[in-house]
Chain A
Amino acid sequence: MHSVAIAGIGETEYSRASGRSETRLALDAILAALADAGIDRTEVDGLMRWSVDTTGEEEIAANLGVKDLKWFGEVNQAGNVGAALVTHAAAAIHAGLANVVVIYRGVNGRSGRRYGRGEVTGRRGQGGSAYTEPFGLLTPQHNLAMLSRRRMHEFGTTSRQFGWVAVSEREHANRNPRATYYDRPLTIDDHQDSRHIVDPFRLFDCCLETDGGGALVLVSAERARDLQQPPALIRAAVQAGYSERSFVDTAAVSTAPRLWAQAEVRPSDIDVVQIYDHFAPFVIFALEDYGFVQRGEGGPFVEAGGIRWDGGTLPVNTSGGHLSEAYLQGMNQMIESVRQIRGTSTSQVADAHLSFCDTGIGTGAIILERDR
């Protein structure tokens, strides 16, 4: 994938009530990303989106004035498909099927459809949900809490260690003026004193609900080098389908070997990490299942300050992540991953060359590289 780069990033403000449609949010983000890249809107010939979103590519294309949309599509599952979309878009550009592919989303995740609510995510007992929903497992939180409880049992990970994920990310958000929780500090006691939602998850283990939009512009690496931003080269991009349900493993068990082989680097080569933190413990589990640390070591690593920008050896979720910046389901974290390559993060890791971004419980990840 070395031949493709992310050349533009764009986002709207993050809020609890955007006051505008999801299409408007998506368009605002796309225009910002195209302006960032220095590419005219009429050059866009590819569009890709999350299948859970409401804004179709034809509506976006019509608004942008795209005359010949050569590549479009969506990836099914849930919020966890950011890396899969990058994989698809990069493959299309690499194959010469499109030249300028925009990955976009606009969501009213707080004022509109709320992903944490059973009436939104429930499938009314149909299909596989016949074996879970009748017992009250109605939201993603329920199923992820179940896995988390078992991992706590097997590896000794504690709620307090979950709390250090939340506190570390909040420190990063407190340095990021775009973050929802920019001006609100969080202590470990705040976390431990917060109420349970689905036990073992406490309030501050849970991600935000956000209205906002985001967009990425992908072009060939060759083209990107002539544009106005330093290119973020796609060193590797992988996706994974769900396999048989495990209550212990994340999908990183299958993506990690492919990711590291494709990138031809090791976890210890990575300078900065973003991880899909819909729930705080998944930072710990992802660090373990991608091989940054051994299983059982993720909790102690976090507790010792390992993921903090200030003093940590592997800063994670440097914009504040889904817990404290915004919950755009991977989009805001991919944008932050690009910022780290450009050197423009509010919690910039010095001289970052390799930037890792998981976009959902191991079901996909990208590694970005600074051009040399």
Chain B
Amino acid sequence: MTSTTPESTRPDFPLPVPSEDGAPFWEHLRNGELRVHRCTACGRLQHPPRLMCVQCGSTERDWALMSGRGTVYSFVITRQALHPSFEGHIPYATVIVELEEGPRLASNLIDIPVDEIAIGMAVRLEPTAVSDEITLPLFRRA
């Protein structure tokens, strides 16, 4: 399931510019799937994706489908506008989600007041289209 967020509800954060090592990550998200770089030699899951496995050095990889379940590993709440586009969107929270498969990734939470966020909170994936090209892996309370 992929939802769409009107741009007006989010600050004008930069959109990801897919690179050689990470383009498939964004392509899968556009199809509503969170898939993470998996080394086919040693099985390591790593995020962000890279051209090589940082553990065994292999350049062979595929893209492992994640369940979308995870917990909040850490979070910050931006309460002062450190960028012009933040005006009118303060406070906002950024979280690190630890997926149940292990990898950790930065994200935002949907429909959770910032003062309710806590480390350990269970969350679930909601791929959210922010442009024709880009779908972000956002999360809701599980």
Contacts and interface: CB of A to CB of B under 8 A. Distances in A.
Nearest to B104: A247
B61 to A, nearest CB: 16
Interface range, A side? 35 or more
A127 B84 CA distance: 22
A131 B14 contact: no
Contacts of B102: none
A179 B9 CA distance: 43
Contacts, number: 116
B16 A125 contact: yes
Interface string A242-255: 00100100000000
Interface string B66-98: 000000011111111011101000011010100
Interface stretch (A53-61, A62-70, A139-147): A139-147
A118 interface: yes
A117 interface: yes
Contacts of B112: none
A227 to B, nearest CB: 45
B17 A125 contact: yes
Interface in A122-178: 122-139, 141-142, 145-147, 149-150, 153
A196 B83 contact: no
A150 B107 CA distance: 16
A131 B48 contact: yes
A270 interface: no
A371 interface: no
Given A118-B83, A135-B108, A138-B83, A200 B76 contact: yes
Given A134-B136, A247-B73, A150 B82 contact: no
A146 B79 contact: no
Given A122-B83, A130-B19, A146-B94, A136 B78 contact: yes
Given A126-B19, A153-B74, A141 B48 contact: no
A142 B86 CA distance: 13
29 contacts: A117-B82, A122-B83, A123-B14, A124-B14, A128-B48, A129-B14, A130-B16, A130-B18, A130-B22, A131-B47, A134-B13, A136-B11, A136-B13, A137-B76, A138-B13, A138-B14, A138-B83, A139-B83, A146-B75, A147-B74, A149-B76, A150-B119, A195-B79, A196-B80, A197-B82, A198-B76, A198-B80, A199-B79, A247-B104
Given A132-B106, A141-B82, 20 more contacts: A117-B83, A118-B82, A118-B83, A119-B83, A122-B14, A122-B83, A124-B17, A125-B14, A126-B19, A127-B17, A128-B48, A130-B17, A131-B106, A138-B14, A146-B74, A147-B74, A196-B77, A196-B79, A199-B78, A200-B76
Interface of A: 116-119, 122-139, 141-142, 145-147, 149-150, 153, 195-200, 244, 247
